[in-house]
Structure 1
Amino acid sequence: MRSSDWEQVSDIYQEGIDTGNATFEEVIPSWAFWIQNHVSGCSIVARNGDRILGWAALSPASNRKVYCGVVEVSVYVCEKYHGKGIGLALLKKLIELSENKGIWTLQAGIFPENKTSIKLHEKGGFRIVGVREKIGKMNGIWRDVVLMERRSKKVGL
């Protein structure tokens, strides 16, 4: 992902925000803020020519040193390209990149209503480890989050 991709990446991110079932975020951050808060070299896009079809990224789960190998996964696909395998391709590439960086655990927090995302992560080798009940409010309503994780079979054994 490059700074020149940010406009299209932001559009896809906004589509996710607009669904109400992709993120607690309400506003798209600036490119500078966003890239500073993600793992270097682990922000990717799927493109067809100049058109970005989807994006994925890793962000640190914690700034504590003991958790340096644990990251949170984000995968977003442009609505008109859903169901074409783009999300799984992005997720598989993130897995590869994460292991190359010595990351042993990928985690995802997904609204239970987002069944497509849960299925995608299961296809990518994630498992449900629990539900964080009423973990945050969105539009004044408490929301649950399904916590999923994938442990590397190569790193941290």
Structure 2
Amino acid sequence: MISTLTVRQAVSDDIAHILRIYNQGIEDRIATLETDAKDLNYMEAWFREHQGRYAVLIAEKDGQVIGWASLNPYSHRCAYSGVADLSIYIDRESRGQGVGSSLLQALEDQAKEMDFYKIVLFTFPFNQQGQGLYRKMGYREVGVFEKQGIMDNRPIDVMIMEKLFQ
């Protein structure tokens, strides 16, 4: 039997899966400056804020949630209403298998439908797998914020990337 990947809008029943995968990203120290695992209350509040324009998409394979991606506000200033920030997290066991590409393409389609003209993202310069995905999908490096945050008592640089749709 051939497994197929499905990408769909997240629903509230997906919150526990989103939380599990997000906490993997926190533990692995490759995708976020967050260092403390999140709980269900945190994720439920986050999910409520991601309705309408700021969608959350889920990737499923064989009925299992193996990844998620979201559009996030870049800024609450009206001048930036056409710019979205991006989050994407893939289950450890599913990384490097094309899940990110499928999620990112679907999220870009969603962004265009919601009148975003640009997506920006922030990644770690050492996250080569993530950068490979973004570059493959047409994102370009804008620059690096040096010592942008602290993780595990060490300063961490953060790379900015973007993709324009218009």
Provide TM-score, normalisation by structure 2.
0.87
| CA deviation after TM superposition for structure 1 residue 83, in Å | 1.7
- Asked if 1:76 is matched to 2:104, the reply is no
| The one of 5, 27, 37 aligned to 2:14 | 5
| CA deviation after TM superposition for structure 1 residue 52, in Å | 0.2
> Residue 150 of structure 2 corresponds to which residue in structure 1?
137
Structure 1: 5+ residue stretches without partners:
none
Equivalent residues, number: 153
Amino acid aligned to 1:34:
W
| CA deviation after TM superposition for structure 1 residue 84, in Å | 1.3
| CA deviation after TM superposition for structure 1 residue 139, in Å | 2.0
User: 1:134, 1:39 → 2: CA distance?
Assistant: 32
- Asked if 1:16 is matched to 2:22, the reply is no
Contact 2:146 2:158 in 1 (8 A): yes
User: 1:119, 1:151 → 2: CA distance?
Assistant: 18
- Asked if 1:119 is matched to 2:132, the reply is yes
> Residue 44 of structure 2 corresponds to which residue in structure 1?
32
What is the percent sequence identity of the aligned residues?
A: 31
- Asked if 1:55 is matched to 2:68, the reply is yes
**44-53 or 116-125: bigger deviation:** 44-53
Contact 1:3 1:31 in 2 (8 A): no
| CA deviation after TM superposition for structure 1 residue 27, in Å | 3.2
Structure 1 residue matching 2:37: 3-state secondary structure: coil
Structure 2: 5+ residue stretches without partners:
1-9
Return structure 1 stretches of 4+ with deviation > 4 angstroms: none
Structure 1 residue matching 2:15: 3-state secondary structure: helix
Amino acid aligned to 2:153:
G
User: 1:124, 1:91 → 2: CA distance?
Assistant: 8
> Residue 43 of structure 1 corresponds to which residue in structure 2?
56
Contact 1:135 1:145 in 2 (8 A): yes
